[in-house]
Amino acid sequence: MSNYNILFDAEAAVQEIVPRVVERHRAKGILTWNRLHRLEEEVMSEVSSSGRFSKRLLEIIFAPAAVSYPNDDRLASFDGHDFVPVVFGPIEKAWHHVH
């Protein structure tokens, strides 16, 4: 049961960090796939630096390489994607909230 709670704790940590990370980038224009990946890296770095979560858990909540989302300057959109990584959803929501 503790693994179950740690997953929610990690998601809560992401939810807490995302608005700060998005705020630092909000003036840079639209949310592109490239920018989304950079924001995800910043969030991951901050969550990881807390030392509270294992590398394996972080790999679960961040976008897996196998899902191969674009990484270019097109507008980021999850239309047509069946899976939205735990971190991408809050980033997209926060981005649109501040714009």
Per-residue pLDDT averaged across 71-86, rounded?
87
The whole-number pLDDT of residue 36 equals: 95
Confidence band of 3 (pLDDT split at 50, 70, 90): low
Q: Supply the Cα-derived Rg of the chain in whole angstroms.
A: 13
Distances (CA, A) of 2 to 9, 42, 51, 61: 10, 27, 17, 17
Per-residue pLDDT averaged across 53-77, rounded?
85
The pTM assigned to this predicted structure is 0.86
Q: What is the DSSP letter of 98?
A: H
> What type of residue is 20?
R
Task: Compute the distance between CA of residue 77 and CA of residue 55 in angstroms, rounded to an integer.
Answer: 27
The whole-number pLDDT of residue 99 equals: 53
The whole-number pLDDT of residue 1 equals: 46
